[in-house]
Amino acid sequence: MKCSIVPTIVFALACVATAQPPKSDIRYMEDGHARHVLDVYAPPGAKNAPVVFWIHGGGWQAGDKTDVKLKPQWFMDKGFVFVSTNYRLLPEVDMGTLIRDVAAAFGWMEKHIAEYGGDPKRVLVGGHSAGAQLAAIICTDERYLKEQGVPLDVLIGSVPVDGDTYDVPAIIEVAETRARAHSLPLPSFGHRKKFGDDPVKHKDFSAVTHVAKGKGIPPFLILHVSAHPDTTAQAVHFGNVLREAGVPVTVFGAKDTNHSKLNNDLGLPDDPATKALTDFVAKVLKK
């Protein structure tokens, strides 16, 4: 939060109170990789506060936990502790290992977040782009959190932002058909290769594969850019699959924005996607 210089001590103190620096580069795996670190943002005096576990984007090949813009302060203003994690990247590791890094960070958070004022039994998981796929998969495929001794019932909600891989085989088919139709070369390291170059793996890494009734899958708010055909199709399809399984879901298509702006603007007062997020957060906290 940036504070203007004004001749009032009260305003200055308020700025200091809300601009808590994060606890940065906390290791979630002893003797691990340099990217096995996370940041924790906690409001002053937090105790038994709900938690946000955020996963950055970057095509599974780039990105960093510090790319959170307004979100930590916005969530802290609503009483949350905010956790943002790094994970190893492609092609250094494969997709399964990458997802298990995220799950390991979640497992560390479950064991330690009370030390920072958070409630490990009330966690909202979110992520942007590649992070949207990662958020969706750990909230639907219970195996990853189960390996960390964590059940799905600690999750109060999930907010994937503009992901295009909730159904990996579908996006591969769309992208490769488009390329062939226009006589364009296929990318050397596109979704087919990123997700293991194996149809079985493509299906297994798709959140839609693992949605089923009675699993304890949390409510979802799926945000997407309404003008983007791929993320829109994926969001609508994923939403329909969740709805058919009885999982509460809202699919919100944001207008007049783009892939990066949608994520970066979350937390702005007049942002429509932020209004949808506000409504969603209010609902999940009532449960």
Name the residues annotated as catalytic.
129
Q: Is the dihedral of CA 174, 178, 181, 186 positive or negative?
A: negative
Give me the amino acid identity at 97: T
Rounded-to-integer distance, Cα 129 and Cα 112, Å = 27
**Cβ atoms 129, 259 nearer than 8 A:** yes
Nearest-angstrom CA–CA distance, 48 and 38: 20
